[in-house]
Structure 1
Amino acid sequence: MASLPKAGSTFAFMQCSSPVCSIFAELLAAPTQKLGVKLVNINSGSSSTTAQAAAASILALDPAAVLVAASNPQIYGGYLKQMADAGSVIAGGGTVGGKPYGVQDAVGGEHSDALAGSLMADWVTVNKGPGANVVFFGTPELTFSPVMQDGFAKELSKNCPSCRVGFQQLSVTTFGTTAPSQVISYLQSHPSTDTVVFASMEGATGLAAALRNAHLSPATLGFAPTASNLQDIAQGGLTAGLALDFNVQIWAQVNLAARLIAKQTTPESDLEPDMQFLSKSDLAGVDVSHGWTGYPDVAQRYAALWGLSG
């Protein structure tokens, strides 16, 4: 990188209402500290009222960079555009459709989301075969969800025309609370369903116990499993996850913001976070308490890229 952000510059994170955003907030501490910038986390809540109030408070900070996650950027009203017009760079993480609202670029954008949907459809085709009966639970608050759902539907139709699929929605407000009971209710009313797929595997938090209690055993698969989901996979309560490397995505998002400040383009390959299918056998003896990463040395890699000591 030719130049780094001014030391002490403010990087503000618009922390979305999805529980995974609290993980992102924690992970952001390391790359921003290494870059020498000040991190401010602002919880934007789940409504347009709270999101716009949070955005207004960030606008007043005049940050060098604003980091947004996969929430619909429309929820912030015109504030992201105001921030961009005021000179802040806006870098997304898993954000789709953000450019009209001021998001200049995103790590893990539309191409990655469509690919994840296709990969999960391929998993169903390979592991469940012809005749699979699938329910796909999307999450309306996450911008990547419809892209992933579309990619899943197209790929499954192409490679497994005899497979059946239904589509349902789980709000982020149900994650960790009523989502498992909603999934169980669907399975009980659709007893031929043998596979459950989640656009966000956070929707499966608590599902392993609920399935045991209901004496149900469908195959389960989801995108971006959290540490809790991975623990359930390791113990056999959930079948598999298409793991997203949260830590790499966060370092890449900070790097994207720094490059935008320096008016440098970011290669498309650097905007694609790594993903990997993980099942029980993959996690045997693995400590998943802090999630999964394909690159444990990501901090050293970015420090070298930025010309800083590791």
Structure 2
Amino acid sequence: MKINKTLGMLAALAALGAPAALHAQDSEAMARAKEKLSAYTAKPEFVAPGEPFDIRQCAAGKKMLSIPNNSSNPFLKGIIDRMKVVGEEIGLEVVEWENQGQPSQWVQGFDYAIRDGFDVIDLISGISPDTVEPQITAANEAGIKVMTSHFYDPSFEPNPLLSSSLPIGFNEIGRILANWTAVNTDGKGKIAVIVSREVPPTIPLMDGFTEELAANCPDCEIVTEINVGVAEWGTKIQPSVQSALQANPEIDVVIPIYDSMSQFVVPALRLTGTLGQVKVATFNGTPFVLDFIQQGAVSMDIGESLDWIAYATVDGHMRDLCGLEVPAKLEVPFYIFDESNAADAGTPAKFDTGYGDAYIAGFRGLWGLE
């Protein structure tokens, strides 16, 4: 009898202590999330991606064809436009192969580069080299270096047919999105996430997102994942988000993992009457999405200066072209924009505003242009 009574008392004490222990764990998780986010709220600093070199000597008379996965993506178009400007100063001709996201059009781009004697083909953010291996082989045989930029995560093994690759931390992005969700929903977020799983970087990004949620926001829940192919963003994202919000009114966060998806998310929120109520967090820093933040339609965008990406991409590709060591990744920092600082990007927002200009002097000095 005494043993049973003692066990009962211990069970009661344990039950009383459990909420306190759980609360302590929740507080620790929230503190971790806040601490990790703080690294992305200070103005970015320039980090040299390699040793100084004479970029004009390397680039003189050379031509680079940049093939985006889809020319309707304003993020990619903005990078390529800025690469054209950088190219003009150093003697590199940069041309965009405009396309609508069809693999047959990417193949045509390779044919054009081979026919017109380009020196570099840049597969920028979205075209998997695995889908165009015969074309890469043909380009290599024609003496063209094929490279990727803003595509692989550093954890990926690049396709061996590539001359080089400039990856970015997609897994890191996923973790930032998870920690932001934890902090901005008091650790209780009900999430709809929009992805394009055909694009390889989506995988490490989502791995980082789910792992960080488990660590720092265990009470957060991914209510639904909406998978839409890149070529179908314009037709499928809006109705899919509308349906998800109507079927799951508890959703309080929508995460389109690439911010150009937001142009189809915002109308869905408006039509369901949830605009300004459901938080939207995303990644890329495309100017029209920073405008959305200023208008209250989007809550947060993890930005990368498109101009900074352009400088870093040209730097890495020219190092490869000239036989120099290629950086292990694009040295482009991530920076969180929200209602507190989105106006720093300009009104309307610009591609290269709000990040500071340390990278301009940094690259110019590195290239011997100063």
Decide: shared fold, TM above 0.5. Answer: yes
- Provide the secondary structure at the position in 2 that maps to 1:10: strand
Q: Give the alignment's Cα RMSD to 1 decimal.
A: 2.2
In structure 1, the residue matched to 2:98 is 43
2:302 aligned with 1:246: no
Q: Percent identity?
A: 18
In structure 2, the residue matched to 1:224 is 284
In structure 2, the residue matched to 1:74 is 130
In structure 1, the residue matched to 2:237 is 179
Within the candidate set 49, 58, 63, 1:10 is matched to 63
**Retained in 2: the 8 A contact 1:89–1:104?**
yes
In structure 2, the residue matched to 1:25 is 80
- TM-score (ref. length: structure 2): 0.76
Query: Residues 167-188 of structure 1: CA distance to partner in whole angstroms, max 9, x if unpaired?
Result: 2213323445552332122111
Q: Which amino acid in structure 1 is aligned with residue 318 of structure 2?
A: A
In structure 2, the residue matched to 1:138 is 195
Matches within 5 A, 1:93-242: 93-96=149-152, 99-100=158-159, 102-109=161-168, 112-165=169-222, 166-176=224-234, 178-216=236-274, 217-242=277-302
In structure 2, the residue matched to 1:262 is 322
Query: Residues 234-269 of structure 1: CA distance to partner in whole angstroms, max 9, x if unpaired?
Result: 11111111112221111111100110012111343x
Query: Residues 155-199 of structure 1: CA distance to partner in whole angstroms, max 9, x if unpaired?
Result: 111211221113221332344555233212211112111111122
Q: Which runs of 4+ in 1 moved over 6 A?
A: none
Indicate how the Cα distance of structure 1 residues 274 and 302 shifts in structure 2: closer, same or farther if over 3 A, else same: same
User: Which structure's relative contact order is higher, taking Cα pairs within 8 Å and 6+ residues apart?
Assistant: 2
> CA–CA distance in 1 between the matches of 2:167 and 2:159?
18
> CA–CA distance in 1 between the matches of 2:149 and 2:189?
33
Indicate how the Cα distance of structure 1 residues 308 and 130 shifts in structure 2: closer, same or farther if over 3 A, else same: closer
Query: Residues 98-155 of structure 1: CA distance to partner in whole angstroms, max 9, x if unpaired?
Result: 732633333343xx11101111111111111332111221123433212211111111
> CA–CA distance in 1 between the matches of 2:218 and 2:238?
29
Moved more, 61-70 or 220-229: 61-70
Moved more, 295-304 or 161-170: 295-304
Q: Which amino acid in structure 1 is aligned with residue 165 of structure 2?
A: A
> CA–CA distance in 2 between the matches of 1:12 and 1:81?
16
Deviation at 1:43, TM superposition (A): 2.0
- Provide the secondary structure at the position in 2 that maps to 1:24: helix
> CA–CA distance in 2 between the matches of 1:257 and 1:87?
15
**Retained in 2: the 8 A contact 1:241–1:278?**
yes
Q: Which amino acid in structure 1 is aligned with residue 147 of structure 2?
A: A
Deviation at 1:292, TM superposition (A): 4.7
Deviation at 1:33, TM superposition (A): 1.1
Query: Residues 3-44 of structure 1: CA distance to partner in whole angstroms, max 9, x if unpaired?
Result: 432511111111321513222221111111122111222124
Indicate how the Cα distance of structure 1 residues 45 and 98 shifts in structure 2: closer, same or farther if over 3 A, else same: farther
- Provide the secondary structure at the position in 2 that maps to 1:136: strand
Deviation at 1:286, TM superposition (A): 4.3
Indicate how the Cα distance of structure 1 residues 12 and 79 shifts in structure 2: closer, same or farther if over 3 A, else same: same
**Retained in 2: the 8 A contact 1:66–1:89?**
yes
Q: Which amino acid in structure 2 is aligned with residue 190 of structure 1?
A: N
Matches within 5 A, 1:278-289: 278-284=337-343, 286-287=345-346, 288-289=348-349
> CA–CA distance in 2 between the matches of 1:98 and 1:176?
31
> CA–CA distance in 1 between the matches of 2:336 and 2:219?
24
Deviation at 1:275, TM superposition (A): 0.9
Within the candidate set 318, 329, 332, 1:273 is matched to 332
* Number of residue pairs matched by the alignment: 306
Moved more, 85-94 or 142-151: 85-94
- Provide the secondary structure at the position in 2 that maps to 1:5: helix
> CA–CA distance in 1 between the matches of 2:241 and 2:116?
42
Indicate how the Cα distance of structure 1 residues 70 and 181 shifts in structure 2: closer, same or farther if over 3 A, else same: same
2:143 aligned with 1:87: yes
> CA–CA distance in 1 between the matches of 2:99 and 2:367?
30
